[in-house]
Homo-oligomer: A and B are copies of this chain.
Amino acid sequence: MDITLDNIDLQILELMQNNARISNADLARELNMAASAVLERVKKLEQKKVILRYNAAISPQAVNQKLLAFIFIKSQEGFTCSTNTADALSALPEVQEVHHIAGEDCFLVKVRTEDSASLMALMRNSLKQIPGILSTKTTIVLETVKEQQQLVILKK
- A residues lining the B interface (CB < 8 Å): 3, 5, 10, 13, 16-21, 48-60, 62-63, 65, 68, 70, 83, 86-87, 89-90, 93, 95-103, 105, 107-108, 112, 139-153
Can you report 25 residue pairs joining A to B where beta carbons are below 8 Å apart? A5-B63, A13-B63, A20-B56, A50-B58, A50-B62, A50-B63, A51-B59, A52-B58, A53-B56, A53-B57, A54-B55, A54-B56, A55-B57, A68-B99, A86-B146, A89-B146, A97-B144, A97-B147, A98-B147, A100-B142, A102-B139, A103-B140, A107-B145, A108-B141, A112-B151
Point out the residues of chain B lying under 8 angstroms from A3, CB to CB. Answer: 62
Contact A55 B52 (CB under 8 A): no
Residue of B nearest to A20 (CB): B54
Point out the residues of chain B lying under 8 angstroms from A19, CB to CB. Answer: 53-54
Contact A140 B101 (CB under 8 A): yes
- Taken together as a complex, chains A and B put the C-alpha atoms of A152 and B96 apart, in Å, by 12
Contact A57 B62 (CB under 8 A): no
Partner of A99 from B52, B96, B144, B153 at Cβ < 8 Å: B144
Contact A87 B145 (CB under 8 A): yes
Point out the residues of chain B lying under 8 angstroms from A152, CB to CB. Answer: 58, 63
CB distance from A95 to the nearest CB of B (A): 7
Point out the residues of chain B lying under 8 angstroms from A146, CB to CB. Answer: 86, 89-90, 95-98
